[in-house]
């Protein structure tokens, strides 16, 4: 039996790299996919860290026409970790969101994520497997917690959450699990610009755990999902946010 293979979108940095580290340590083969050129510093650093079982394939998630080539180059996928995503292009009054910026965010976070998951699901159904197989959507607490200053991001994550639920129903009879992880405030490049603001709010009690989340916090949640330990929990939504999204008085 060959080692299981995970396709991790956006796996060269941030939350994706935290997930990739966990899987690499567990002996998985990895394919990282992102729009960066292979020679980019972040890509080279990730490949050097993760070792010889890791490959990189350049792929823009918004490019649906590129999905067949990505999957052909990847090979049979045991687990798709749909992690890559973008923030709102501009934070501000949602009444000022332009169609171009709305489409850009949803084109990656929702449209690109959905159609890649659809293609992977079809490939999984077409082939027998030696391992338990799964698809995991990395969404956000913003799938349920509204932020009017970045409404298009929240909308994209809420819609991706429904994509995960409906896909879980479609694939459950075939033993393929679909899960959703909702990270909270995680210390990555995407949140670097609001670090000072959120640090103050975390210290003021916004996050009950009292700290920033780390990419490895997400990574540690992945293994029981992709190895089948939570197979009967398909469709589960798992917050990874230090208690941020718990309703409280």
Q: What is the 3-state secondary structure (H, E, C) of 174-223?
A: HCEEEEEEEECCECCHHHHHHHHHHHHHHHCCCCCCCCCECHHHHHHHHH
Q: Quote the pLDDT of residue 195.
A: 86
Q: Quote the pLDDT of residue 1.
A: 64
Q: Quote the pLDDT of residue 193.
A: 79
pLDDT digits (tens, 9 = 90+) for 82-99: 999 999 999 999 999 999
Q: Quote the pLDDT of residue 196.
A: 87
Residue 100 lies inside a defined structural domain of this protein = yes
Q: In which band, very low, low, confident or very high, does the pLDDT at 206 lie, cut at 50, 70 and 90? A: very high
Q: Which residue has the tokens 């171009």?
A: 100
Mean pLDDT over each residue of the chain, to the nearest integer: 96
67: CATH: 3.40.50.720
Residue 140 lies inside a defined structural domain of this protein = yes
User: Other C-beta atoms within 10 Å of 205: how many?
Assistant: 8
Helix 151-171 vs helix 99-106: crossing angle, to nearest 10? 30
What percent of the chain shows pLDDT beyond 70?
A: 100
Residue 247 lies inside a defined structural domain of this protein = no
Residue 248 lies inside a defined structural domain of this protein = no
Compute the 3-state secondary structure of the chain and give helix, strand, coil in percent, each to the nearest 5: 50, 15, 35
pLDDT digits (tens, 9 = 90+) for 215-234: 999 999 999 999 999 999 99
Residue 62 lies inside a defined structural domain of this protein = yes
Number of structural domains in the chain? 1
pLDDT at residue 190 above 80? no
- Can you tell me the mean pLDDT for 51-64? 97
Residue 183 lies inside a defined structural domain of this protein = yes
pLDDT at residue 207 above 70? yes
pLDDT at residue 49 above 70? yes
Q: Quote the pLDDT of residue 111.
A: 98
CA separation for the pair 43, 64 (Å, rounded): 22
Q: Domain range holding 45?
A: 5-239
pLDDT at residue 58 above 80? yes
Residue 249 lies inside a defined structural domain of this protein = no
CA separation for the pair 203, 226 (Å, rounded): 34
Residue 244 lies inside a defined structural domain of this protein = no
What percent of the chain shows pLDDT beyond 90?
A: 93
pLDDT digits (tens, 9 = 90+) for 70-86: 999 999 999 999 999 99
């Amino acid at each position: 039996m060959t080692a299981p293979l995970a396709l991790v979108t956006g796996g060269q940095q941030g939350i994706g790299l935290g997930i990739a580290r966990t899987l690499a340590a567990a002996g998985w083969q990895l394919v990282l996919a992102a729009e960066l050129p292979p020679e980019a510093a972040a890509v080279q650093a990730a490949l050097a860290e993760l070792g010889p079982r890791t490959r990189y394939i350049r792929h823009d998630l918004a490019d649906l026409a590129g999905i067949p080539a990505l999957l052909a180059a990847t090979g049979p996928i045991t687990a798709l970790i749909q992690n890559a995503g973008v923030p709102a292009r501009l934070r501000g009054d949602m009444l000022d969101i332009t169609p171009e910026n709305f489409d850009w965010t949803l084109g990656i976070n929702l449209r690109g994520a959905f159609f890649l998951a659809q293609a992977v699901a079809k490939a999984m159904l077409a082939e027998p497997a030696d391992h338990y197989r799964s698809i995991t959507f990395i969404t956000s607490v913003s799938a349920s917690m509204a932020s009017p200053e970045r409404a298009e991001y929240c909308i994209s994550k809420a819609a991706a959450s429904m994509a995960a639920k409906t896909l879980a129903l479609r694939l459950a009879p075939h033993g393929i699990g679909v899960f959703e992880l909702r990270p909270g405030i995680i210390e990555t490049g995407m949140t670097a610009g609001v670090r000072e603001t959120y640090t103050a709010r975390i210290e003021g009690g916004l996050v009950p755990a009292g700290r920033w989340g780390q990419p490895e916090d997400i990574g540690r949640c992945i293994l029981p999902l992709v190895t089948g330990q939570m197979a009967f929990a398909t469709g589960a939504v798992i917050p990874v946010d230090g208690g941020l999204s718990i309703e409280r008085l």
